[in-house]
């Protein structure tokens, strides 16, 4: 190798170093000062190896900076987990992406994409954004209301390319954090019960060209999954994608959770007698990252009528399982069960309730729920069920700490809700298709004469509001379980419920929060609170951690605002 | 697939659409209008869906009331007062037709405006309230305690029928937002008050004299929430005529301007 080639090699290596290559994404845990994906690593374990902030000094944490997106309209709550690359933090709101100095919060650039009225006709969607992905020097961001996927220059905020990843006119919304694998960026839309069949799609990271597309509800009668729907009800099966996925390089599989079948609350047409499974609703699906082909699937709640979305992010871990090393996936599901699956094959290994639930008695050896007959099919007119509509947990990302061996998550326990069931109104594009009655504003202007059911209404009006209620009336908690057994290890209980994700760190800490506005640091081994701060509104994002010049920071959110904490200088 | 954000033609079209529906669109494009009930609306409703699902609609008070009741049956969590405030807020800012409180369908269905009480009847009602000790817990005008619900606007929230039932069978289930908390501080001081707010670490209350107090739970020697209703039944303590007058008087107590 002559000198010129050597110099060129050195130059290339240097410039490559500054970029987030696929190789860096594969080994994200080797650079704990950065936070390169929504879940921290491809395993989505939301575990930081940083130890500067630890059990002994966490009580000294100080506020370092605040970021409040001044967008219009303002986000309803901040669900964003930022990413950090070499001292630059990339955060998002519904209508903007910013690059901030991760040490001071000062802005380098901002890209705004205000609501385009043409793209937004009062469709039912969440005014939130969960975050961006990065590859090379390119960020990938989605606009929830127009279903666009944008590639953005991470140094300048310039848009490199932009595609319509889904058509909002069909009832889609797109607010997942994208996942980059090799040369593709993968996203998928949700439908908030408008009966649009959802999918995952991979786009070339350089051009935006669609490489593959795989439907989560059947796209044709020839799809084998169509047989799991009665008649042609698969045509408006929904099965939304609400969150990001995880990736296993060894098998080249991406894992993704899917949401409820449509109509959400009434299965009489799509699953008469609760006899049809309605694939791939409420599943984890394992897809080949290069082709999108589904290699295996596991369905948590077949033929669902209770909105038990598998909207969680899969957590991957390599553990010793019954004496042998095993590559597994942990999943605390909205339906109230905690699962362990073999991620290479989809084999069911464990299923155990992590909250009080009434709709099932347990899980059989194949992982199917043993259903309590009075809930299946759901009686017309509805029924009180545990967990209620928000589930035992929801979109809030959990964490796995290999040091303690514990799985941490946010839960709603002792939590009952009325799940309604009404005749199914005919499907209409961009209209609610729920089977639980009247959703105003989408064509139906008058409620049915007998709506809502008075008995349930009376009972629920007597229920406590979260800030006044007692623990017996339901509570939120950050909960640690032993993932090998599903046994609870500790609880940090809150008066109110929680929408916060959880971060664990090698400093022996767990960070999380609640709808009461408190952001807390807990002892990862005991759950004892070591520090807390009131952030003025619900914590609804996944906390994360990074370091700049050796100084560790913790990010938490309250209401629509992001806060960075660190030890005193 | 389209690779550009919008075409020129679309911009022109958008402008026309914007002009035609300016009033409606401005609601999407701006933050929510100020007003009582806005905070409760944002907090309680956005747990399950975007608030613009709601604010893109225009409905009568009765229809908004139906929607809020519907959401309660789906699990929306708020106090009766908060839910009433949401109905008021939505009908005022996103209403159509008659948005006045008597426009029908208020959550707790206050009775149609009764005939005004005579001076004698008002005097009789006030005397009954005094002799029966109502003001040892409740407050009317500038007199009474803060430990129970303030009755100055009770007619805006409860119908005559509901007030009658509250007087004759105050069952064991006190409204959660009216619960009493009892605590003992680390230095032995006993405090009783009506709960205003709490979280895992702290509690906020109002005591009988109207003092607003906040405590860190970790510093308390004892802390308890009383879920039963301390109010006695007046079913046998008041005769029919007295009951009729006191109910009519309470129904007449309304929030000013609502």
Q: Is the per-residue pLDDT at B58 higher than 90? A: no
Average confidence score pLDDT of chain B: 76
What would the DSSP string read from start to end of B124-148? HHHHHHHHTTGGGT-EETTEE-SSS
d(CA A193, CA A78) in angstroms, rounded, equals: 23
Backbone angles phi, psi at B91, to 5 degrees: -70, -30
Interchain CB distance below 8 Å, B50 and A389: no
Query: Quick one: tokens of A274?
Result: 């609760």
Specify whether the backbone of A346 is left (phi greater than 0), alpha (psi in -120 to 50) or beta: left
Specify whether the backbone of A443 is left (phi greater than 0), alpha (psi in -120 to 50) or beta: left
Interchain CB distance below 8 Å, B50 and A124: yes
Q: Is the per-residue pLDDT at B171 higher than 90? A: no
Name every chain B residue with its beta carbon within 8 A of the beta carbon of A420. 73-74
Q: B71 in helix, strand or coil?
A: helix
d(CA A176, CA A148) in angstroms, rounded, equals: 11
Q: Residue A336 to residues A2, A185, A306, A354, A413: CA-CA distances in angstroms?
A: 63, 31, 12, 6, 9
Backbone angles phi, psi at B167, to 5 degrees: -80, -35
Average pLDDT over residues B2-7: 29
Q: Kind of pairing, strands A503-505 and A47-48?
A: parallel
Secondary-structure breakdown of chain A: helix, strand, coil percentages, each rounded to the nearest 5: 10, 35, 55
| Closest Cβ–Cβ partner in A115, A390, A466 for B29 | A115
A560: exposed, middle or buried (Cβ count in 10 Å: 0-12, 13-18, 19+) = buried
Average pLDDT over residues B99-126: 64
Please indicate if any CB of chain A lies within 8 Å of the CB of B8. no
Element (H, E) at A486: none
Interchain CB distance below 8 Å, B48 and A460: no
d(CA A159, CA A138) in angstroms, rounded, equals: 9
Please indicate if any CB of chain A lies within 8 Å of the CB of B18. yes
Q: Is the per-residue pLDDT at A463 higher than 60? A: no
Average pLDDT over residues A263-271: 97
Q: B118 to chain A, minimum CA–CA distance in Å?
A: 35
Name every chain B residue with its beta carbon within 8 A of the beta carbon of A124. 49-50, 53
pLDDT of A517: 93
Query: Quick one: tokens of A385?
Result: 């069920």
Name every chain B residue with its beta carbon within 8 A of the beta carbon of A447. 66, 70
pLDDT of B11: 31
Name every chain B residue with its beta carbon within 8 A of the beta carbon of A466. 77
Q: Known catalytic residues of A? A: 307
d(CA A33, CA A85) in angstroms, rounded, equals: 8
Gyration radius (Cα) of chain A, Å? 23
What would the DSSP string read from start to end of A503-565? EEETTTEEEEE-TTSEEEEEETTT--EEEEEE-SS---S--EEEEETTEEEEEEEETTEEEEE
pLDDT of A336: 98
A141-145, B95-99, B155-159: least confident range: B95-99
Q: Residue A80 to residues A188, A307, A494, B102: CA-CA distances in angstroms?
A: 17, 23, 22, 43
Angle between helices B240-251 and B119-131 (to 10 degrees): 100
Q: At which residue do the structure tokens 């937004």 appear?
A: A120
| Closest Cβ–Cβ partner in A122, A417, A453 for B56 | A122
Average pLDDT over residues A315-323: 97
Which one of A116-125, A468-477, B171-180 scores highest in mean pLDDT?
A: A468-477
Q: Is the per-residue pLDDT at A58 higher than 70? A: yes
| Closest Cβ–Cβ partner in B28, B72, B176 for A468 | B176
A165-169, A342-346, A510-514: least confident range: A165-169
> Is residue A43 within 8 Å of A28, Cβ to Cβ?
no
Establish whether the linkage from the previous residue to B197 is cis, with ω within 30° of 0: no
d(CA B63, CA B61) in angstroms, rounded, equals: 5
Interchain CB distance below 8 Å, B46 and A76: yes
Question: Tens digit of pLDDT for each residue in A89-108?
Answer: 999 998 899 999 999 999 99
Name every chain A residue with its beta carbon within 8 A of the beta carbon of B104. none
Element (H, E) at B248: helix B240-251
pLDDT of A564: 98
> Is residue B155 within 8 Å of B140, Cβ to Cβ?
no
Alpha carbon dihedral B117, B118, B119, B124, in 10-degree steps, equals: -70
Q: What percent of chain A is modeled with pLDDT above 70?
A: 89
Name every chain B residue with its beta carbon within 8 A of the beta carbon of A461. 72, 80, 83
Q: Kind of pairing, strands A88-92 and A529-534?
A: unpaired
HSE at residue A214, side-chain half, CA atoms within 13 A, is 23
What would the DSSP string read from start to end of A197-231? --EEEEEETTT--EEEEEESS-SSTTSGGGGGSST
Backbone angles phi, psi at B196, to 5 degrees: -110, -35
What would the DSSP string read from start to end of A40-107? SSTT---EE---SS-TTTGGG-EEEEEE----SSPPSS--PPPEEETTEEEEE-SSEEEEEETTT--E
pLDDT of B30: 41
Average pLDDT over residues B16-43: 54
Q: Nearest to residue A273, comparing CAs of A248, A305, A301?
A: A305
Q: A311 in helix, strand or coil?
A: coil
Interchain CB distance below 8 Å, B29 and A73: yes
Question: Tens digit of pLDDT for each residue in A393-403?
Answer: 999 999 999 99
Sign of CA pseudo-dihedral A495, B66, A260, A429: negative
pLDDT of A46: 98
pLDDT of B35: 78
Q: Nearest to residue A150, comparing CAs of A168, A172, A174, A120?
A: A174
pLDDT: which is higher, B12 or A498 = A498
Please indicate if any CB of chain A lies within 8 Å of the CB of B120. no
What is the pTM (predicted TM-score) of this model?
Answer: 0.83
Sign of CA pseudo-dihedral A345, A350, A356, A357: positive
A229-233, A403-407, B209-213: least confident range: B209-213
Neighbour tally for B241: CB within 10 Å = 9
A273-277, A448-452, B80-84: least confident range: A448-452
Which one of A116-125, A187-196, A272-281, B34-43 scores highest in mean pLDDT?
A: A272-281
pLDDT of A75: 64
Q: At which residue do the structure tokens 């339901």 appear?
A: A474
Q: What percent of chain A is modeled with pLDDT above 90?
A: 78
Q: Is the per-residue pLDDT at A10 higher than 60? A: no
Question: Tens digit of pLDDT for each residue in A437-455?
Answer: 766 555 555 555 554 444 3
pLDDT of B52: 66
pLDDT: which is higher, B27 or A541 = A541
Q: Strands, E, within A260-332: which ranges?
A: 283-288, 294-299, 315-321, 324-332
Query: Quick one: tokens of A521?
Result: 């640091």
| Closest Cβ–Cβ partner in B2, B30, B227 for A470 | B227
Residue of B181, B200, B223, B227 to mutate, testing the A interface (most A Cβ within 10 Å of its Cβ): B200
Average pLDDT over residues B154-175: 83
DSSP state of B196: E
Average confidence score pLDDT of chain A: 90
> Is residue A346 within 8 Å of A286, Cβ to Cβ?
yes
Provide the β-strand partners of residue A283.
A299
pLDDT of A423: 86
Contact residues for B245 (Cβ-Cβ < 8 A; gap 6+): B117, B121, B124, B125, B128
Interface pTM (ipTM) of the complex? 0.75
DSSP state of A502: -
pLDDT of A465: 57
pLDDT of B111: 44
Average pLDDT over residues A336-349: 98
Provide the β-strand partners of residue A90.
A83, A99
Q: Kind of pairing, strands A561-566 and A348-353?
A: unpaired
- Strand A509-513: give its sheet, edge to edge: A47-48, A503-505, A509-513, A518-523, A529-534
């Amino acid at each position: 190798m002559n000198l010129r080639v050597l110099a060129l090699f050195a130059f290339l290596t240097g410039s490559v170093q500054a970029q987030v290559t696929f190789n860096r994404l594969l080994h994200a845990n080797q650079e704990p000062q950065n936070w390169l994906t929504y879940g921290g690593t491809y395993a989505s374990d939301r575990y930081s190896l940083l130890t500067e902030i630890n059990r002994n000094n966490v009580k000294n944490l100080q506020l370092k900076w605040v970021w409040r997106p001044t967008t219009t309209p303002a986000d309803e709550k901040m669900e964003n987990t930022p990413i950090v690359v070499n001292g630059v933090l990339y955060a998002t709101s519904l209508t903007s992406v910013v690059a901030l100095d991760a040490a001071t919060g000062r802005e380098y650039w901002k890209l705004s994409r205000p609501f385009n009225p043409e793209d937004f006709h009062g469709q039912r969607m969440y005014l939130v954004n969960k975050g961006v992905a990065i590859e090379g020097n390119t960020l990938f961001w989605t606009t929830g209301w127009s279903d666009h996927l944008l590639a953005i220059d991470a140094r300048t905020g310039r848009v490199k390319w932009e595609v319509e990843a889904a058509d909002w006119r069909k009832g889609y919304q797109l607010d997942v954090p994208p996942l980059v694998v090799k040369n593709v960026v993968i996203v998928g839309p949700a439908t908030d019960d408008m009966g649009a069949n959802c999918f995952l799609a991979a786009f070339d990271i350089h051009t935006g060209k669609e490489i593959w597309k795989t439907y989560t509800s059947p796209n044709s009668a020839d799809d084998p999954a169509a047989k799991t729907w009665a008649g042609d009800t698969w045509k408006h099966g929904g099965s939304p994608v609400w969150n990001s996925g995880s990736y296993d390089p060894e098998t080249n599989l991406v894992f993704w959770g899917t949401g409820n079948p449509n109509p959400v609350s009434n299965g009489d047409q799509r699953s008469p007698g609760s006899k049809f499974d309605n694939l791939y609703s409420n599943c984890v699906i394992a897809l080949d990252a290069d082709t999108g082909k589904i290699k295996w699937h596991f369905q948590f709640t077949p033929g669902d009528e209770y909105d038990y979305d598998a909207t969680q992010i899969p957590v991957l871990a390599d553990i010793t399982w019954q004496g042998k090393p095993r590559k597994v996936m942990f999943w605390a599901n909205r339906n109230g069960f905690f699962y362990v699956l073999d991620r290479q094959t989809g084999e069911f290994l464990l299923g155990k309730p992590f909250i009080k639930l009434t709709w099932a008695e347990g899980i059989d050896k194949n992982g199917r729920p043993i259903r309590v007959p009075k809930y299946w099919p759901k009686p017309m007119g509805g029924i009180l069920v545990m967990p209620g509509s928000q589930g035992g947990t929801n979109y809030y990302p959990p964490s796995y700490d290999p040091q303690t061996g514990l799985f941490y998550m946010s839960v709603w326990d002792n939590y009952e809700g009325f799940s309604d069931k009404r005749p199914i109104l005919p499907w209409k594009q961009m209209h609610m298709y729920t089977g639980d009655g009247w959703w105003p504003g989408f064509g139906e202007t008058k409620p049915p004469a007998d709506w809502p059911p008075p008995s349930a209404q009376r009972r629920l009006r007597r229920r406590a509001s979260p800030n006044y209620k007692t623990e017996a009336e339901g509570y939120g908690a950050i909960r640690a379980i032993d993932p090998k057994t599903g046994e609870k290890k500790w609880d940090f209980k809150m008066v109110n419920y929680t929408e916060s994700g959880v971060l664990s760190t090698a400093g022996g800490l767990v960070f999380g929060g609640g709808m009461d506005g408190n952001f807390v640091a807990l002892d990862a081994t005991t759950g004892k609170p070591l520090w807390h701060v009131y952030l003025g509104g619900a914590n609804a994002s996944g906390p994360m951690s990074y370091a700049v010049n050796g100084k560790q920071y913790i990010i938490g959110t309250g209401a629509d605002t992001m806060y960075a904490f660190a030890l005193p200088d | 697939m389209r690779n550009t954000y919008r075409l020129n033609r679309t911009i022109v079209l958008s402008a026309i659409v914007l002009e035609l529906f300016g009033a409606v669109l401005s609601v999407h494009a701006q933050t929510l209008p100020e007003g009582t009930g806005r905070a409760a609306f944002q907090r309680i409703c956005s747990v399950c869906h975007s608030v613009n699902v709601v604010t893109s609609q225009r409905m009568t008070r009765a229809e908004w009331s139906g929607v809020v009741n519907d959401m309660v049956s789906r699990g929306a969590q708020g106090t009766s007062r908060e839910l009433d405030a949401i109905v008021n807020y939505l009908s005022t800012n996103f209403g159509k037709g008659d948005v006045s409180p008597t426009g029908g369908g208020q959550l707790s269905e206050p009775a149609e405006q009764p005939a005004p009480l005579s001076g004698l009847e008002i005097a009789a009602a006030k005397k009954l309230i005094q002799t029966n000790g109502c003001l040892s817990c409740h407050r009317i005008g500038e007199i009474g305690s803060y430990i129970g619900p303030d009755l100055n606007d009770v007619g805006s929230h409860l119908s005559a029928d509901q007030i009658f039932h509250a007087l004759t069978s105050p069952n064991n289930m006190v409204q959660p937002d009216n619960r009493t908390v009892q605590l003992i501080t680390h230095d032995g001081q006993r405090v009783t008050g009506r709960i205003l707010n709490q979280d895992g670490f702290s509690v906020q209350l109002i005591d009988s004299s109207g003092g607003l107090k906040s405590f860190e739970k970790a510093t308390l020697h004892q802390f308890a929430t009383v879920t039963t209703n301390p109010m006695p039944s007046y079913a046998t303590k008041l005769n029919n005529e007295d009951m009729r007058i006191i109910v009519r008087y309470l129904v007449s107590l309304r929030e000013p301007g609502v």
